[in-house]
Homo-oligomer: A and B are copies of this chain.
C-alpha cells in the first residue's frame, strides 16, 4: 500500500483547510485521518494528540494572519493603517472561518503559538505609531484594538448583527472612524 506521506506540517495545513469546510470544532484526529484515507492511530506518529493537532492548526492560522496583517500595514500610517489592519482580520474571519476559529484556540503558555500572539501585538503597536501615544496609553490602545477586533468579529460570526439595521459593514466602518478619532485625541481625555 502506498504511503500517504503524512507529516506534522501537512496535518496542520490540511486541518486548517478542513476547519474552513466543516468548522474548527469538528476537526479532530479522526476527521483528519478520514480525510487522508488513513487509520486514526497513524496520526499519532506525527502529532502528540488532539490538543497538539489543534495547537498546530492555530499556529498555522496565527502565522498566516500575521503575514497578511504585516502586508496590509506596510507602507501605511494613521487611519489608513488602522482600517487596513482591521480589514485584514475581518476579511480573514469571513473567508476562513475555520482558520479564524483556530486562531482563537486557547494555547497553553510556553507553546510556540504564544510567540505568534506577540507578533500580532507588535503589528498593532506599529499601527499606533501613527497616533503618537506614549506609555501606558499605547499598551492600553493595543489592548483596546485587540479586544474590539476579536469581539466584533466574534459577535458578527455568531450572527448577532445579522438581523437588524444598520448593516454590519456600515457599523464597522463608523466604529473604525470613531476609534480613529479616539486615538487621535487620546492624550486629551
- Which residues of A are interface residues toward B (Cβ below 8 A)? 104, 106, 109, 117, 136-137, 139-140, 143-144, 146-152, 154-155, 158-161, 164-166, 170-171, 174-175, 177-179, 181-182, 185-186, 189
Contacts and interface: CB of A to CB of B under 8 A. Distances in A.
A166 to B, nearest CB: 4
A189 to B, nearest CB: 5
A144 B178 contact: yes
Given A151-B149, A151-B154, A189-B178, A143 B165 contact: no
27 contacts: A106-B158, A136-B165, A136-B170, A136-B171, A139-B171, A140-B166, A140-B174, A143-B152, A143-B155, A143-B161, A143-B171, A144-B148, A144-B152, A144-B175, A144-B178, A147-B151, A147-B154, A147-B175, A148-B151, A149-B151, A150-B151, A151-B152, A178-B186, A178-B189, A179-B182, A182-B182, A185-B185
Is chain A's binding surface mostly helix, strand, loop or mixed? helix
Contacts of A179: 182
A176 to B, nearest CB: 10
A145 to B, nearest CB: 9
